[in-house]
Structure 1
């Protein structure tokens, strides 16, 4: 897992004139010669994609040079936090759509009435807007589509005596498959519980069985208690994955990226729950295992009759926004507007192998991988992504609590209490209530 144009009136709280003059200071935007724009990113889509972004953008914008600062995803908050605290540093920064972005919204210039103009060719961008509502304040525009699927290794299923063309569709079937895979000497579900990955990649797929869309919006607004039976049931099922031995034993001590993903890519696990775009998607797994051995499906349904159980947890990818402190806001607007355009959408497909949001991307460029084509079927029935409704404190408490439950140090009821305390510490949700 932010953008804008060059004209001028942006803003929820900022005058257009101040914006285009670098908040009254003129800044590098007003100088002769190329402007150097500092961009903070974790390089979603990979290094080669971002090299192409830099080359292509600079070729079409000789007045702007990009200086990229790339940070590993799991270290990103540690690097970004001091910039926000000191109100200095990058001119453009990335954050995941949803509450991760909203928690940091004070760092970004709001789009104001420019949002509709910049995003007119995008399928959606509500994940960059407060309340997931494009009629409210928006802090950027994404260019990719993101969400969760369950990848599986057909060779591992076959070796375990399972049908590789019929992956488990229900929770009970998944449990039986895990038992068979374990007997065959492999890990069932490759998993890493350190960091925010459990919140973004696992929690939404369990939550879809218990929450309605209204419940998910209540979660966003901080109006759904973590002691509510629905959310307690979600935590119970997450705990079941590890306490029943369906995952690798070292899950509490590793991150999903790269460690958990590596277990799957090595062929040592039957399943991996990850994402449709960015670094650990169908392309990386297909290269490692072979396209013919890679399968993709929805997570198994706990309650197949639940309203959202057969849906796809979809959300826009990383959002790039112009920082409040930047003295190069006009250049920043040019760059993030370009990111939302057709040219970058096609670079994203070609080099990032991800799902573009720009509707004008040449369909002939889309991959023909069987996994990619299956993903196109799955994304056709989207619902809200519950994971990005979690605030920073909640995402941290979800991962930490799951680690403790797995190690026998915490009960699920105590986990729910910790989650509720995290909710009550969330500045964003306090303001929403």
Structure 2
């Protein structure tokens, strides 16, 4: 759409060309198709990305996609050297929020093109600095992401609990965990190694203590980790593991795949994960049976908290064009297609995920009971606190939770370590 042969199709084409030329991004003349190198961890699974490649190339014969897929937990190790050397992929993925902002120097700002893309998307502006579309945006999302609490109805029933009435409050959750543990099962499947605690668990506790202004304070680095609100969040995270509600090996395993596998095997009552991508309702439904899988919000701790009953929503992976690419026109064309209706429908059909594109045919949406419940939960969203954390903070959150669980660290010292991690964050030090 945005290469020279499409110049007359879209009115914004001249502005896009000017943007890319300013960045040194013309594709130049070639004797054959442009090969576009894409770095991804394949959110949604291999089958979905095979469909992306086949479908996009069929309608864009002048562009070939060369996909480099890296496991999510290894992704920073692979991406980092590319950014340092300013070479490699033409398009790369990062999670929305500070993970992307920390690496924004690697991407071409989209300029006015961002507004044209976003008009058809449900968006939290997680691809834009400060979650503000008036500021530079560095890529294109296409999936709707956030956290829910999945539960196994059979495990609850066998523990003497009502599987149609999952715990709605923290006290009810504690009582349910005690009953599940007595029945011989794990209450909450959990893995504390890596960044998943920051993205999947922290936001669901934080909603009970933080306002939206507080969450934006996390983003700006102006809310201290020694603030009583954040200390209370850390205390509740610690309670999850020190109360014996989780698998004993939680400190030494990752949530994906290890923690998720515990739940999929039927060995745990609950698992806190995400609505799209690798470990969503569809994977759990296949493993347990759709009739045995339930989904709900995380239990409320403070009923009066304004965000306690809201959904922590955010875009999924954001795909941007790299600063060093000499194929920026083709890269922009590809990421714009990713945000479109055609890919949104591939995302629903093959990844069973939540699309951001508002024009996706609703008749294609799954009929799973869990999926339908998720549609009700996502209707009342708030900012996702997890993506407000810098890399140093996300690492310190997981490491500190491991140490607290093992009795090696107090919550107060954990808060101090978190503050030190905040002060090491280059993005937040610059006030971005």
TM-fit CA distance, 1:43: 0.3
The residue aligned with 1:271 is 270
The residue aligned with 1:389 is 388
The residue aligned with 1:134 is 133
Structure 1 residues 42-81: aligned runs within 5 Å: 42-81=41-80
The residue aligned with 1:84 is 83
Q: Identify if the C-alpha distance between structure 1 residues 82 and 293 changes in structure 2 by more than 3 Å, giving closer, same or farther.
A: same
Q: How many positions carry a matched residue from both structures?
A: 423
Q: Identify if the C-alpha distance between structure 1 residues 125 and 228 changes in structure 2 by more than 3 Å, giving closer, same or farther.
A: closer
Structure 1 residues 285-300: aligned runs within 5 Å: 285-300=284-299
TM-fit CA distance, 1:125: 5.0
Distance 1:313 1:18 in 2: 37
Contact between 1:29 and 1:330, CA under 8 Å: does it hold in 2? no
Q: Does 1:18 align with 2:17?
A: no
Distance 1:304 1:5 in 2: 50
Deviates more, 1:119-128 or 1:41-50: 119-128
The residue aligned with 1:352 is 351
The residue aligned with 2:104 is 105
Distance 1:268 1:407 in 2: 22
Q: Identify if the C-alpha distance between structure 1 residues 125 and 211 changes in structure 2 by more than 3 Å, giving closer, same or farther.
A: closer
TM-fit CA distance, 1:396: 0.3
Distance 1:111 1:29 in 2: 20
Q: Does 1:225 align with 2:229?
A: no
Structure 1 residues 338-417: aligned runs within 5 Å: 338-417=337-416
Distance 1:348 1:15 in 2: 29
TM-fit CA distance, 1:9: 3.9
Over residues 139-183 of structure 1, what are the superposed CA-to-partner deviations in whole Å (9 max), with x where a residue is unaligned? 012001000000000000000000000000000100000000000
TM-fit CA distance, 1:123: 1.5
TM-fit CA distance, 1:5: 5.1
Distance 1:217 1:380 in 2: 21
TM-fit CA distance, 1:117: 1.4
TM-fit CA distance, 1:305: 1.4
Point out where structure 2 has 5 or more consecutive residues left out of the alignment.
Answer: 4-12
The residue aligned with 1:202 is 201
Distance 2:144 2:360 in 1: 13
Distance 2:92 2:74 in 1: 14
Distance 2:198 2:217 in 1: 17
Contact between 1:29 and 1:329, CA under 8 Å: does it hold in 2? no
What is the Cα-based RMSD across aligned positions, in Å?
1.3
Over residues 177-226 of structure 1, what are the superposed CA-to-partner deviations in whole Å (9 max), with x where a residue is unaligned? 00000000000000000110000000000000000000000111000000
Give secondary structure in 1 for the equivalent of 2:323: coil
Contact between 2:2 and 2:16, CA under 8 Å: does it hold in 1? no
Over residues 240-294 of structure 1, what are the superposed CA-to-partner deviations in whole Å (9 max), with x where a residue is unaligned? 0000110100000000000000000000000000000001000000000000000
Distance 1:133 1:357 in 2: 18
Point out where structure 1 has 5 or more consecutive residues left out of the alignment.
Answer: none
Distance 2:14 2:40 in 1: 25
Give secondary structure in 1 for the equivalent of 2:57: helix
Contact between 2:20 and 2:328, CA under 8 Å: does it hold in 1? no
Give secondary structure in 1 for the equivalent of 2:92: strand
Q: Identify if the C-alpha distance between structure 1 residues 273 and 29 changes in structure 2 by more than 3 Å, giving closer, same or farther.
A: farther
Give secondary structure in 1 for the equivalent of 2:130: helix
Give secondary structure in 2 for the equivalent of 1:286: helix
The residue aligned with 1:170 is 169
Contact between 2:20 and 2:329, CA under 8 Å: does it hold in 1? no
Give secondary structure in 2 for the equivalent of 1:66: strand
Please give the TM-score of this superposition, normalised by the length of structure 2. Answer: 0.96
Distance 1:307 1:133 in 2: 22
Distance 1:29 1:347 in 2: 31
Structure 1 residues 108-187: aligned runs within 5 Å: 108-187=107-186
The residue aligned with 2:93 is 94
Please give the TM-score of this superposition, normalised by the length of structure 1. Answer: 0.96
Runs of 4+ in 1 over 6 A off after TM superposition: none
